[in-house]
Amino acid sequence: MRMFDRRRFLQTLAAASVSPALPACAQNALSSRNPFDLGVASGYPHPGGMVLWTRLVGGLDPVAYPVRWEVASDEAMRQVVASGSAAADPHWAHSVHVEPKGLEPDRWYWYRFMVGDAVSRVGRTRTAPRLEAEVAKLRFCFASCQHYEQGYYGAHRNIAEDAPDLVAFLGDYVYESSWGRDHVRKHAGGETYTLVDYRARYALYKSDPDLQAAHAACPWIVTWDDHEVDNDYADDRPEDGMPREQFLLRRAAAYQAYYEHMPLPERMRPKGPDMRIHTQLGWGQLARFFVLDDRQYRSWQACPRPNRKGGSNTVGVEKCEQLFEPKRSMLGRAQEKWLESSLSESRSRWNVIAQQTTMAQFDQKPGPGRRAWTDGWDGYPAARQRLLSYLMEKRIANPVVLGGDVHSFNVADLKLDFDDPKSAVVASEFVGTSITSQAWPQERLNTFLSDNPHMKLLDSRYRGYVRVEITPGRMRADLRAMESVTTRDAACHTLATFVVEDGKAGPQRA
């Protein structure tokens, strides 16, 4: 069998308007398994297009495969409005990231991929409205934290059934290690360190049919949290004391696998251990999303446990001076500056900050004194103060912060001074629970409630997601709770609904 000539293949691709034929060896390899077993996905809609994603799997040769793609204006794929061919490169795990351009704004499209005789499922996606468009409504869901072993992804099936315009996934898409109780299924292999490890972990998670359905239902925007790399890492510092150079190799492998498995634009392709994923996305005049990365550039964790170099801790605030150092940053100075200038340029009615951790202060010491967990924004109080002060001073319109990480529904007022009941409410915060990952018992959270009066709801009993509808006059958030994650077909109900009225910061129970 002749070896596949990649250079000739690329020349053919560039020259041909028809798709190049597959080499014989590639066709043989493809016959054993559906190469589209990991599904399809789309992301980052703008008025003229979006990103389309798939990854070929199953006994592939280490050569590039030409993958054809089609975008149609109908679900039956009869009216094809854009098409082409892209190389599934073995250096990028045979993933494909396509960015069709010139589509019409503010409408739904359907797409699929083909390689050899194999055809993928049809995914549904859409473009965003034009920047100047007056938009009546935006519906989106946000979610995070989907430990594969700890449950089934029924929440994703419900997200797909909701058919939102957009999904925002806020981190812990995969977990690097096994933990928790009552596993319904198992990771293959132990903790992930190498590119091979991370690729296999993503392939396992992405084999789930409910997760695939949610990806096929609408475009996603994504950010990561710690578990896509390593628990509690901060910039170049892991929790386990691994030397910096070695950890950066691990981070590079993790970031590459993340890129390979997400519908991310070409501009986000990683370079070694660096990958810029913070970005903004507009939805007409109605809303603007600011997608943040609070892992890659953050200052090291303050006051780690005495026997460790990194990782989070829960500290009495009077015992950790470092916590309050003004130079400590959650986003890094460059991203902070970018966020400030982007917010000040926004002309949108609603400004949605989509990020991975909880922002509201959360005192974990009942009664006098305060204990703070250093991995969330409580570990970076000066940076939180800078952001909230900026929102207030610049009168940013309707700021709403979305978060994840803690595996409970948290609904909160964001204030300049959480210890002062009279301090103004600057923004609204909604933290989604987890898709599956386990949480602290509700009884434990209840002991902290009276020390955190700015929290309107704190509920760790359910796994699920948050469904949001934004109109010019208000934002509505339904907290969607799964009855169980131990069966695939468990029911979902709305635990509570909150609204934020235009011009009035702070969630109100509907």
What minimum distance in Å lies between the beta carbon of 256 and Fe ion? 21
Question: Residue 373 belongs to what H/E stretch?
Answer: strand 371-373
Phi (first) and psi of residue 71, to 5 degrees: -120, 130
Pairwise CA distance, residues 465 & 32, whole Å: 37
Q: Which stretch binds Fe ion (CB under 5 A): 85-93, 236-244, 275-283, 436-444?
A: 436-444
Q: Which stretch binds Fe ion (CB under 5 A): 25-33, 314-322, 333-341, 432-440?
A: 432-440
Nearer to Fe ion, 272 or 441 (CB): 441
273 contacts: CB under 8 Å, gap ≥ 6: 236, 248, 249, 251, 252, 255
User: Which of 353, 340, 329 has the alpha carbon at shortest distance from 430?
Assistant: 353
Residue 385 neighbours by CB distance under 10 Å: 15
Q: Which stretch binds Fe ion (CB under 5 A): 76-84, 214-222, 262-270, 435-443?
A: 435-443
Number of residues that bind Fe ion (CB under 5 A): 3
What minimum distance in Å lies between the beta carbon of 379 and Fe ion? 16
Q: Which stretch binds Fe ion (CB under 5 A): 108-116, 291-299, 381-389, 431-439?
A: 431-439
Q: Which of 70, 162, 165, 172 binds Fe ion (CB under 5 A)?
A: 172
What minimum distance in Å lies between the beta carbon of 146 and Fe ion? 8
3-state secondary structure of 332: coil
Q: Which stretch binds Fe ion (CB under 5 A): 58-66, 166-174, 195-203, 485-493?
A: 166-174
Nearer to Fe ion, 145 or 455 (CB): 145
Nearer to Fe ion, 42 or 312 (CB): 312
What minimum distance in Å lies between the beta carbon of 292 and Fe ion? 16
Is 232 near Fe ion (CB under 5 A)? no
Please, which of residues 275-294 interact with Fe ion by CB under 5 A?
none
What minimum distance in Å lies between the beta carbon of 460 and Fe ion? 12
What minimum distance in Å lies between the beta carbon of 11 and Fe ion? 46
Outline where 206-268 has alpha helix (H). 209-217, 244-261
Q: How is 133-182 classified by DSSP, letter by letter?
A: ---S-EEEEEE----STT---HHHHHHHHH--SEEEE-S-SS-SS---SS
Dihedral sign of CA atoms 437, 215, 96, 45 in order: negative
Pairwise CA distance, residues 414 & 5, whole Å: 58
427 contacts: CB under 8 Å, gap ≥ 6: 353, 388, 391, 399, 400, 401, 414, 505
Say which residue the tokens 């703070």 belong to.
Answer: 372
What minimum distance in Å lies between the beta carbon of 142 and Fe ion? 14
| x/- letters, 455..494, toward Fe ion (CB under 5 A) | ----------------------------------------
Please, which of residues 136-165 interact with Fe ion by CB under 5 A?
145
Pairwise CA distance, residues 289 & 302, whole Å: 29
| x/- letters, 26..65, toward Fe ion (CB under 5 A) | ----------------------------------------
Please, which of residues 237-276 interact with Fe ion by CB under 5 A?
none
Dihedral sign of CA atoms 65, 70, 75, 78 in order: negative
Nearer to Fe ion, 64 or 458 (CB): 458
Q: Which residues bind Fe ion (CB under 5 A)?
A: 145, 172, 437
